[in-house]
């Protein structure tokens, strides 16, 4: 029957006629390309379709493109197509409102989010991505998370029963593609059914990831990934060996509609069974299929594609004589690949280990073994090419083991000479009468190991158990440094010894020596084992620091090492409350004059030292010194950044991404941090003890200066609050205590500063917490007494010192001393009556009304000055613009007026505050 007389209802005749006219093609061409050649397919394109079909077809096409991009990990393409998909979905909003969100759309959103999350967690995969894909990955991840919030309920429902949605789409795809698949027609139904039953159902995202990672995976025309993974090799070889007749029959069968009860029916049965049977885990080695038939052998877990059997490359050809020259040649061959693109660094490390084992097995001497060890350690350091990346735990352990083994060899064989100045030509690696000479530097390896340890600590979550486990390695690192010290003590130069000493100092200076502290207090260990341990231990950390630092002071020729040693020494003194030694060393070194020319790590160390010095002064009761030491750090508002304990949020204009990476590498590990809340509390309490009496003494002085701007800011914040409740934070406690001290109420002030909450947050963190609390109570009592006398001196004619002693619970000599100092410094206009032990007020201070009059006079004077200045400015501009020739005369006239004004001020000197006071003092 001719195709021109065919009706649209007779589908069989259409398919048979199109199959007769199609010429046979190569089996590699896809089914869709064959279908496009059909005239009937062109006729169907002209069929009028509904708006829903058009919109949904547009969505499905975009979804297919996204899934293809997911298979090849093309994130840029995924991002572009996802944006188009969002726009297309927005266009079809009216249809979606009527029909509901299509299931295939929800499935894509869920799968895409899972896929992106898995990609994001795959750190190795992210490193291999190019710049565009990595950028597109982060952008798409943010967009999909934000976009999926609108479909949370639908995605949750899909995730609860993902198989149902997936099967619906599979049935739809099977109906479109007919019976086409990669396998033969007879076995097609069986493979698809067994694959779904036996194979563990996994999400689309994980399938995409596995397909992209597998090097042997090839793209095919079918959308069903399960079918193409099973028996792919055997089917392709079968197709290649078939003749032309098989090709024709294959193409004919592809276009024929299958009869009822044949393969398609079996596929549908299998899909229905999949709907009924919930996915279950397949046990390895399971040999029974669903119908009870047994399969030969058990299941074996394999990766997709052709299994690659890696054989270890043979070091030397069979029969080769193993000697030093051959091993050195092989070593150079391995090292030539170092740093080249595509080199497997892990395999390179394994080869070097194997080469070391061969050298040890054939007794080629310790010289070649030392050289191989040097290269193994260098390869471990090069495993992460990125400077910001840190070593993995297994690599770190290998590195420590290799350095220990290298030091063991060097200690056992004193005849091995190592140095950077030994040329490769002059190396002596073979066993001979001459000592071994190897090019290399152990000190450089240990310094790099120390830097890697710091990087590991910087990049580990400080609140995790992993951080504690990593910190335990510090003992091993210090042990290696001590062994290197012992080795270089005999063979190293002075410069090398100074460098190692500094490394040892950097691991010691920030640690508080509790055992030495107990010995100074005269305490002994509670148990006999602790006492024995204390006796068996070596010298205190103070003696170690003193010995190491003094060697550097005497022998070092570089300013940087000496500067770091001085700062660490000061820090250690301050940490152990040796205030006078720390202060004298800081003043004698004059570091504060030229520290601005040092590099940022040294500046961070200087800031840490100054902060520790201020805290030490506070513990010793030197409140003014503590405030001066902490002023620069705390007034900047960037204490966290200046101490190297974190970065503040800034605009990209102030700091770009590269600068941020550099600053992150300068951060101090968490176990070396200084408590910022303790630091701020010490500063605010010091400022309170200095500022409140000063404010009371200069209450009506308009020109009074601020001792601490940050403290005044906290006071203003507290005054602005409309409702004052009980203090909660540390700052609120200090503000509340300041208000109580203003009134001379030392008990309330004491209760706000020292209580359970403040003890747990701040004061208990000090080694001698009780002594610090006693010192604080004493200072609060003394400063409250001074504030009380400044505030209420105008009320009293005389006051008994005994009354003041009882009021502030201070001894009589202390009260006498405080009042005498105030009288000598002319802060208090009074005299002491010794027989009656009273303070007689002289009332030379102006009253509050007179003080207000003084302030008014000062403000009026400044207002007159400002008005005259504005008037002169206007006249000067006018004269200068229109009468340029008379400008000089105007200026002389202006100066004359200013002289007149100055004379006016001199004549009216009584309005000035000093003159008013001088006039009134004689009257009183």
Q: Give the pLDDT score at 527.
A: 52
Q: Which of 820, 808, 779 is closest to 689 using CA atoms?
A: 779
Q: Looking at residue 215, what is its pLDDT?
A: 40
Using CA atoms, how far apart are residues 388 and 395, in angstroms rounded to an integer? 16
pLDDT tops 50 at residue 631: yes
Beta-carbon count within 10 A of 686 CB: 28
Choose between 843 and 799: higher pLDDT. Answer: 799
Provide the residue ranges of all domains of the chain, joining segments of one domain with +: 52-160, 675-841
The reported pLDDT for the residue numbered 614 is 95
Q: Rounded CA gap, 648 and 651, in Å?
A: 10
308 or 480, which is more confident?
480
pLDDT at 294 over 60: no
Between 601 and 8, name the one with better pLDDT: 601
Per-residue pLDDT tens over the stretch 225-255: 444 444 444 444 444 444 444 544 444 454 5
Exposure class string for 123-149: b at 16+ Cβ within 10 A, else e = eebeeebeeebeebbeebbeebeebbe
Range with the largest mean pLDDT of 7-16, 170-179, 202-211, 646-655: 646-655
Predicted pLDDT at 681: 93
Whole-number Cα distances in Å, 99 to 92, 94, 102, 103: 11, 9, 8, 11
Query: How far is residue 690 from each of residues 155, 247, 684, 821, measured CA to CA in Å?
Result: 62, 99, 10, 16
Closest to 403 (Cα-Cα) out of 415, 391, 421? 391
Average pLDDT score over residue span 40-46: 48
Distance CA 154, CA 159 (A): 9
The separation between CA 621 and the C-alpha centre of its own chain, rounded to angstroms, equals 37
Cβ(830)–Cβ(840) below 8 Å: yes
- Under the banding of pLDDT at 50, 70 and 90, the label for residue 687 is very high
Interval 851-864 mean pLDDT: 88
For residue 569, CA distances in Å to 549, 550, 622 come to: 7, 10, 21
pLDDT for 924 equals 32
Say if CB 230 and CB 195 are below 8 A apart: yes
- What stretch of H or E contains 831? strand 830-833
**What's the count of helices (H) and strands (E) in the chain, helices before strands?**
46, 5
Per-residue confidence (pLDDT) for residue 872, from 0 to 100: 85
| Mean pLDDT value across the chain | 75
**pLDDT interval class at 781 (50, 70, 90):** very high
Structure confidence at residue 299 (pLDDT):
62
Residue with tokens 């070194």: 589
Task: Retrieve residue 800's tokens.
Answer: 């008994």
pLDDT in tens, 544-562: 999 999 999 998 888 899 9
pLDDT score, position 11: 42
- Interval 516-534 mean pLDDT: 62
CA distance 220 to 390: 41
Look at residue 188 in the predicted model and tell me its pLDDT: 40
Written as six digits, the tokens of 139 are 């952008």
Q: Assign 840 to helix, strand or coil.
A: strand
Structure confidence at residue 579 (pLDDT): 92
Token reading at 777: 């109570």
**pLDDT of res. 416:** 85
The pLDDT tens digits of the residues spanning 392-438 come to 888 899 999 999 999 998 888 888 888 887 877 777 777 777 788 88
Cα distance between residue 839 and residue 820, in whole Å: 10
d(CA 568, CA 608): 10
Q: Sheet containing 798-800: which strands, arranged edge to edge?
A: 798-800, 838-841, 830-833
Note whether 575 and 616 are within 8 A (CB). yes
601, 609 in Cβ contact below 8 A? no
81-90, 150-159, 172-181: least confident range: 172-181
- What are the two backbone dihedrals, phi and then psi, of residue 592, each rounded to the nearest 5 degrees? -65, -20
CA distance 697 to 851: 13
Please report the pLDDT score of residue 348 as a whole number: 85
CA distance from start to end of the chain: 135
pLDDT in the model for residue 892: 40
The burial class, CB within 10 Å (0-12 / 13-18 / 19+), for 728 is: exposed
**What percent of the chain has pLDDT above 70?**
69
Q: Look at 98-102, 184-188, 336-340, 849-853 and tell me which has the smallest mean pLDDT.
A: 184-188
Q: What does the pLDDT look like over 338-354, one tens digit per residue?
A: 777 777 888 888 888 88
In the predicted model, is pLDDT for residue 815 greater than 50? yes
Residue 47: helix, strand or coil by DSSP?
Answer: coil
Q: Which range, of 71-75, 133-137, 789-793, 848-852, averages the lowest pLDDT?
A: 848-852
Per-residue confidence band for 704, with pLDDT thresholds at 50, 70 and 90: confident
Percentage with pLDDT > 90 across the chain:
27
Residue 880: is its pLDDT beyond 70?
no
**Domain 675-841 CATH (choose: 1.20.1270.360, 1.10.3720.10, 3.40.190.10, 1.10.10.10):** 1.10.10.10
pLDDT > 60? residue 285: no
Contacts of 885 (CB under 8 A, 6+ apart): none
The pLDDT value recorded for residue 608 is: 94
CB 911 within 8 A of CB 861: yes
Mean pLDDT of 571-588: 93
3-state secondary structure of 776: helix
Instruction: Give whole-number Cα distances, 146 to 142, 154, 593, in Å.
Output: 6, 15, 53
CB 693 within 8 A of CB 786: yes
Q: Provide the angle, in degrees to the nearest 10, between the axes of the packed helices 103-121 and 51-71.
A: 20
**Tens digit of pLDDT for each residue in 135-172?**
889 899 888 988 988 888 888 888 888 754 444 444 44
Per-residue pLDDT at 566:
95
Tokens of 499: 């460098």
What pLDDT score was predicted for residue 531?
A: 54
Q: Does 756 score more than 60 pLDDT?
A: yes
Interatomic CA distance for residues 861 and 520, integer angstroms: 63
């Amino acid at each position: 029957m001719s195709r021109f007389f065919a009706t649209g209802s007779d589908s069989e005749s259409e398919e048979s006629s199109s199959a007769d006219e199609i010429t046979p093609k190569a089996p590699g061409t896809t089914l869709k390309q064959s279908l496009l050649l059909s005239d009937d397919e062109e006729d169907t394109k002209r069929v009028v379709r509904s708006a829903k079909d058009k919109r949904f077809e547009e969505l499905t096409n975009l979804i297919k493109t996204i899934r293809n991009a997911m298979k090849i990990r093309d994130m840029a393409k995924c991002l572009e197509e996802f944006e188009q998909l969002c726009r297309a979905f927005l266009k079809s909003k009216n249809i979606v409102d009527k029909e509901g969100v299509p299931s295939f759309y929800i499935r894509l959103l869920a799968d895409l989010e899972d896929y992106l999350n898995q990609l994001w967690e795959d750190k190795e995969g992210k490193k291999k991505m190019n710049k565009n894909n990595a950028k597109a990955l982060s952008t798409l991840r943010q967009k999909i998370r934000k976009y999926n919030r609108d479909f949370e309920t639908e995605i949750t429902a899909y995730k609860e029963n993902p198989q149902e949605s997936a099967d619906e789409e599979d049935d739809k795809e099977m109906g479109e593609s007919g019976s086409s698949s990669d396998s033969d027609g007879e076995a097609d139904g069986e493979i698809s059914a067994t694959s779904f039953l036996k194979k563990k159902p996994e999400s689309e995202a994980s399938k995409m990831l596995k397909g992209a990672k597998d090097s042997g995976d090839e793209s095919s025309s079918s959308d069903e990934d399960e079918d193409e993974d099973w028996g792919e090799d055997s089917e392709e070889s079968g197709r290649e060996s078939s003749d032309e007749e098989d090709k024709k029959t294959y193409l004919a069968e592809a276009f024929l509609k299958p009869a009822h009860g044949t393969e398609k029916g079996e596929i549908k049965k299998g899909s229905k069974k999949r709907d009924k049977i919930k996915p279950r885990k397949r046990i390895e080695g399971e040999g029974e299929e669903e119908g009870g038939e047994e399969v030969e052998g058990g299941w074996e877990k394999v990766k997709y594609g052709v299994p690659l059997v890696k054989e270890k490359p043979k070091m030397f050809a069979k029969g080769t004589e193993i000697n030093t020259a051959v091993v050195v040649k092989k070593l150079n061959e391995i090292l030539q690949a170092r740093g080249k693109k595509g080199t497997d660094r892990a395999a390179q490390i394994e080869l070097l280990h194997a080469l070391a084992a061969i050298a040890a097995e054939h007794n080629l001497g310790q010289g070649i073994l030392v050289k191989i060890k040097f290269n193994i350690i260098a390869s471990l350091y090069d495993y992460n090419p990125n400077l910001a990346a840190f070593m993995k735990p297994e690599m770190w352990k290998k590195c420590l083991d290799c350095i220990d083994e290298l030091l063991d060899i060097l200690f056992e064989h004193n005849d091995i000479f190592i140095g950077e100045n030994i040329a490769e030509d002059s190396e002596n690696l073979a066993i001979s009468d001459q000592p071994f000479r190897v090019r290399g530097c152990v000190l450089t390896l240990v310094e790099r190991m120390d830097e890697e340890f710091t990087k590991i600590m910087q990049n580990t979550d400080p609140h995790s158990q992993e951080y504690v486990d990593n910190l335990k390695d510090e003992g091993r690192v210090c042990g290696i440094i001590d062994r290197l010290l012992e080795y270089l003590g005999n063979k190293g130069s002075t410069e090398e010894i100074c460098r190692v000493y500094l490394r040892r100092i950097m691991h010691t200076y920030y640690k508080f020596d509790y055992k030495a502290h107990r010995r100074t207090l005269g305490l002994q260990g509670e148990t006999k084992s602790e006492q024995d341990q204390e006796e068996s231990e070596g010298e205190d950390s103070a003696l170690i620091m003193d010995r190491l630092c003094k060697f550097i002071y005497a022998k070092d020729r570089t300013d940087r090492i000496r500067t770091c040693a001085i700062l660490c020494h000061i820090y250690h003194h301050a940490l152990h409350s040796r205030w006078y030694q720390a202060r004298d060393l800081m003043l004698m070194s004059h570091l504060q004059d030229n520290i601005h020319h040092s590099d940022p790590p040294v500046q961070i160390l200087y800031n840490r030292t100054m902060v520790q010095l201020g805290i030490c002064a506070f513990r010793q009761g030197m409140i003014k010194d503590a405030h001066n030491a902490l002023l620069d750090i705390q007034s900047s508002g960037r204490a966290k950044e200046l101490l190297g304990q974190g970065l503040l949020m800034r605009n990209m204009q102030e700091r770009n991404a590269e600068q941020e990476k550099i600053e992150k590498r300068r951060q101090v590990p968490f176990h070396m941090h200084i408590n910022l809340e303790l630091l701020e509390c010490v500063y605010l309490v010091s400022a309170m003890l200095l500022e409140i009496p000063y404010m009371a003494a200069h209450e009506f002085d308009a020109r009074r200066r601020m001792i601490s701007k940050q403290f005044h800011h906290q006071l203003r914040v507290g005054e602005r609050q409309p409702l004052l409740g009980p203090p909660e934070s540390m700052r609120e406690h200090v503000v509340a205590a300041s208000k109580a001290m203003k009134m001379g109420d030392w008990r309330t002030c004491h209760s706000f500063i020292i209580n359970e909450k403040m003890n747990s947050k701040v004061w208990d963190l000090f080694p001698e917490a009780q002594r610090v609390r006693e010192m604080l109570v004493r200072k609060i009592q003394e400063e409250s007494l001074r504030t009380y006398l400044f505030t209420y001196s105008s009320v009293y004619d005389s006051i008994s010192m005994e009354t003041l002693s009882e009021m502030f619970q201070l001894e009589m000599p202390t009260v006498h001393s405080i009042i005498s100092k105030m009288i000598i410094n002319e802060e208090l206009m009074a005299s002491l009556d010794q027989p009656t032990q009273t303070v007689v007020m002289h009332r030379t201070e102006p009253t509050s009304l007179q003080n207000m009059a003084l302030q008014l006079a000062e403000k009026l004077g400044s207002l007159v000055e400002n008005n005259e200045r504005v008037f002169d400015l206007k006249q000067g501009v006018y004269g200068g613009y229109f009468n340029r020739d008379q400008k000089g005369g105007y200026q002389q006239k202006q100066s004359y007026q200013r002289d007149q004004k100055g004379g006016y001020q001199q004549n009216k000197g009584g309005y000035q505050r000093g003159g008013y006071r001088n006039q009134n003092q004689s009257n009183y």
